[in-house]
Amino acid sequence: MTRKKVFMTRNYHPDATELLKEHYDVDIWQENNTPPYDILREKVENCSAIFIESYDKIDSELLSSSKELEIISTRAVGTDNIDIAAATAQGVLVANTPGVLENACADFTWALMLDIARRISFSDRSVRDGKWTKLDQLPYLSTDIHGKTLGIVGLGGIGYRVAKRATGFDMRIIYHSRTRKREIETELGLEWAENLELVLKSSDYLSLHMPLTPETEHMIGEYELNKMKKEAFLINTSRGRTVDQHALTKALIEKKIAGAALDVTDPEPIPKNDLLTTLPNVVITPHIASASTENFANMAKMAAQNIIAALSNTPMPSCLNPDAYQYR
Ligand code: GLV
C-alpha cells in the first residue's frame, strides 16, 4: 500500500517527525522559514497533510489546488493565517494545539509585565552600555505591580492563567471577554466588565489575549489608548494586528500611556528602524511567548497527533472545522 504524504514546513520538530514517519512519507522544508508560495502550492496539491507554523499563510487560492489534502495541522493556537472557511468547503480539516501552550504563554506574559513595570530590559541595556557608573537608583525608578489593577481582554485558556498568576500579586483583576465566565470570577475573584471601555479606564496593566479576527483587528486604537490611564502599561501576547501600531507609537511618544511590552508586532519581524524599537519605555520580543523548549515540543507532538488521527479517521485532539467531514 502506498504511504500517504505529509509535508512539514519546518525542520525543527524531531519527535513529531519521528511520530509521523511511523505512518507516512514525510517531506520536510529544510530552511527554517516559510516555504515560498509555489512550494506550498505543490505540497498542498500532492500531500494528504501539511504541518505548518503560525507564520505560514494558507489562503483560498492555495487551497483551490488541493487534491489529496485532508488536513492542515498548525503548531499554534492562533489560526488567523488559515482560511478555515475555504478549507471547510474543500473538505479539508483544520487542527490547532490548544490545551498545551497556555501555561507557557501565561508565564511569558508575566515575564513581559514584570520587565516593563520594573524596567529590567531598560536597566540591563543601561548596564551593558556602560551607563551604570555610580550607585544611583534614580535613573532606574520603576512601577509596582502588587496591589495594582490588571485588565484582561479575552479570558480564554491563556487569559485565565494570567489572571491566576495575578492573584499571587494581590492585584485587582478585571476582565472583558466575548463570554462571561462566572465560575472563573468566583474561583479567582475576578470582576466582569461589560464593555472594553471599563477595562481600559480601570487598568494599570492591560493584557491582551483575544484571537485575531475581523472583530478584534485594531481593537486597541487611538480612541482606546486615549481611554487608558497615563500610568498604564499595555502587554500584548496575542497578535500584532489586534493593536493599531501607529496609534500605539503615537500614544507612547505623547506619553498617553506609560509603556508597552509586545511579543507580537505588525509586521513581524518588526523593521529594525521602526520608531517603536527606539523608545525606552517599550520591550519587544520576537513572538516567543509559547516557545519554552518543553512547550515547543509538546505543541509539535499535538500537531502530529492531529494529523495521525485525521488520516486514520479517529477523533482528533483538536479539530476546528468538523463541518469539513461532510465535504470529504
Ligand atoms: C502562537 O502565536 C500561537 O498562536 O500558538
Q: Give the gyration radius of the chain's Cα atoms.
A: 22
CA of residue 246 relative to chain centroid, distance: 20
Residues identified as active-site: 239, 268, 287
Integer Cα distance of 115 and 117 in angstroms: 6
How many A from CA of 23 to the centre of ligand 1? Answer: 27
CA of residue 107 relative to chain centroid, distance: 13
Pairing of strands 25-28, 5-8: parallel
Query: What was the pLDDT predicted at 328?
Result: 84
CATH of 102-284 given 3.90.1150.10, 3.40.980.10, 2.60.120.10, 3.40.50.720: 3.40.50.720
Q: H or E stretch including 201?
A: helix 196-202
Nearest CA to ligand 1 atom 1: 76
Query: What was the pLDDT predicted at 32?
Result: 86
Query: What was the pLDDT predicted at 6?
Result: 98
Nearest CA to ligand 1 atom 5: 76
- Is 102-284 the same fold as 5-98+293-327? yes
**Would you call 199 helix, strand, or coil by DSSP?**
helix
Prediction pTM value: 0.96
How many A from CA of 102 to the centre of ligand 1? Answer: 10
Contacts of 171 (CB under 8 A, 6+ apart): 145, 146, 147, 148, 149, 150
Query: What was the pLDDT predicted at 1?
Result: 73
Task: Tell me whether the omega of the peptide bond preceding residue 98 falls within 30 degrees of 0, making it cis.
Answer: no
Residuewise pLDDT in 10s, the chain (328 residues): 789 999 999 999 999 999 999 999 999 999 989 999 999 999 999 999 999 999 999 999 999 988 899 999 999 999 999 999 999 999 999 999 999 999 999 999 999 999 999 999 999 999 999 999 999 999 999 999 999 999 999 999 999 999 999 999 999 999 999 999 999 999 999 999 999 999 999 999 999 999 999 999 999 999 999 999 999 999 999 999 999 999 999 999 999 999 999 999 999 999 999 999 999 999 999 999 999 999 999 999 999 999 999 999 999 999 999 999 998 8
Query: What CATH number is given for 5-98+293-327 in this structure?
Result: 3.40.50.720
DSSP class of residue 67 equals S
Buried b (16+ CB within 10 A) or exposed e, 117-140: bbbbbbbeeeeeeeeeeeeeeeee
How many A from CA of 164 to the centre of ligand 1? Answer: 20
Q: Which residues line ligand 1 (CB under 6 A)?
A: 54, 76-78, 101, 290
Of 238, 290, 296, the one to substitute when testing ligand 1's pocket (max ligand atoms within 8 A of C-beta) is 290
Q: Which of 243, 114, 239, 237 is nearest to 166 (CA)?
A: 114
Nearest CA to ligand 1 atom 3: 76
Q: Which residue has the cell 530590559?
A: 121
Task: State the DSSP string of 79-133.
Answer: -TTB-HHHHHHTT-EEE--TTTSHHHHHHHHHHHHHHHHHTHHHHHHHHHTT---
Query: What was the pLDDT predicted at 299?
Result: 98
Domain extents in the chain: 5-98+293-327, 102-284
Of 56, 79, 84, 101, the one to substitute when testing ligand 1's pocket (max ligand atoms within 8 A of C-beta) is 101
How many A from CA of 131 to the centre of ligand 1? Answer: 37
Can you tell me which atom of ligand 1 is nearest the CA of 78? 4
How many A from CA of 139 to the centre of ligand 1? Answer: 36
